[in-house]
Each structure stands twice: as C-alpha cells, then as structure tokens.
Structure 1
Amino acid sequence: MDLKDIQNLIKFVAKSGASEVKLETEDVKITIKTGSDDKQETTTYVQQIPVGAPVAQPAAPAPAAQPAAAETTTATTTAEDSKYITIKSPIIGTLYRKPSPDKPVFVEVGQTIKEGDVLCIIEAMKLFNEIESEVSGKIVKVLVDDSSPVEFDQPLFLVDPS
C-alpha cells in the first residue's frame, strides 16, 4: 500500500462520517480515527510490519477448568467440519440474519441453498450488503448470532456440498 492509497483512504473515511477504521494487511496496519466534535480532526497511525521469518507467538494457556475430554471433542468436531465448505465474511461489519426485525431469517440449519441465494446481510458503514452463497448445498451450521459483529474472513456458515 503506497502513500497515495493511504491518503485516499483517509479522505474516504473523513467523508463517510465513521469515527474509527482499522485496516490490516500482511505488511501494513492502519488505524484512522476522526474527531466527532465540530473541529475536523483526523489521526492516522501507520505501522509497517516487518517482512521476514514468521515469529512464533506463544499459545494462550488453556483454562484449568476445561478437562482433557474437551480437547478431544474439539479435534473430532474439526475433523467432521473439514468435509464442509465454510462460508466466510467478505467484509467487517454487523451481521443480520433477517432482512428486517419482523421478517423470518434468510436461511435455517438444514435448509438447501443454491448459488446466488442470500444468506445474510452485513452492515458496514451504514451500507447493507447482501451476502450471497457461492456454493450449493445444505446449511449444516450457523456460526454467528444475529446482530453480532463480524470480522473479515470470519466463518459464518458451514455448508454440506453433497
């Protein structure tokens, strides 16, 4: 990402009215905060991440309250889930499973979907983006709750393609 792209991003965020935007790529981490007062204040932090050998991060210690059986269950679940296709969030925002509060959800567990079916809506910066299926199959699991925040590339649904 070059300086011109960063400047364009800052201008876009300032015009959009968002108070804070964070963007992370493999080599750049950017946080843009705009002031909500009458004065137009923009603060930008750009952190260059060194490109080199990957640094191993220490694993978080597991809580002592979890028995070893939970680890076995997780491994079994992961093995079972590997045969399914994971539909991931293409953007950051708030996920809504219904088109409006008084309407039914777009998809339920067990429902058969086809390519192009709307699965949910993700609101990002006051824009509502319909997330369509890129695969056909049966919804096996819904991995997020309605009205919950989602990150880029976060798993949303598991689909059995068979």
Structure 2
Amino acid sequence: MITNWKQRSVALLTLSLTFATAGEFWQERNEQHGQSHLPLADIVINDKTIQVELATTTRTQAYGLMNRLILPENQGMLFVFNQTQPLSFWMKNTKIPLDILYFDEEGRLVDFAEAVPCLNDPCPSYPSKVQGKYVLEIGKGERKRLGIEIGDQLKKID
C-alpha cells in the first residue's frame, strides 16, 4: 500500500504516462464488450480493421478468452503488457481454436501459433520464439484469411 503523498504522486504519474503512450496501436471505441466488460478498441494491420477487447491487467490477461463458444471474424483480444518480455500462452478452458499473434514493442509481428482448445490437464503452452509486448488472439484461420505474416506491422493510430 502506498502511504505518503509523494509516493502516490509518483505512482499516479507513472501510471498516467504508461496509459498516455499505451494506445498508439489501437483506437478505443468508448464501448465495453457485452460478455467480458473489457474496453473495446480497433486495431489495423494490413489495412484490415479488427475489433479487440483490451486485456491490460493480470486478471483479465489470465482469463483471456476462456469459456467462449464463438469468436466472430474480425474480432479478438489484444493483450497489452507493460514491457517487452518472454511470452507464453496456453488454452486452459478455452473452447475455441485460436491464432495467437506475438508483436514486439514496435507493433511488428514476430511470431505466431495455431492453438487448439484444452479442456483437460496438462495443457500445452504456446511460447513465442521472440520476446514481445503485445499479443493478439483471433479465431483459427483468421491470420491466413487476413494475410497476416511475420514482419507485418500494426498501424500506429494518432
């Protein structure tokens, strides 16, 4: 717990700076997803727009797309981490197959995995071969349908 006003001020300033620069690859929609209640945003890659739920907290990132039965075309979840780091995802209690796309701090696709549902332990992990800062989960086959390849870039949104 932060106890004095100087520590609180520094913490709030740090948090404000983090969020001030965090949205450079997405445009928030001032809406929430009906099921997850996460903020909705649009991202653009290869001139294609994908509506995403923003998972920015440890709790929302851990839950991800668990227990969903469908994920429509051009929709997904964008996981936003505080720093570039080794990333690995698994499909525990995820009922739909997914394409998992790993992006670096510049918004460049550095790795991807085609993940299958896992309803029983042990579940396999899908680690990125390269450290990343953002992860996009979209429905199985969406990466190919949208023509997304290694090196493709998320468009910066002003």
Q: Structure 2 length normalisation: TM-score?
A: 0.27
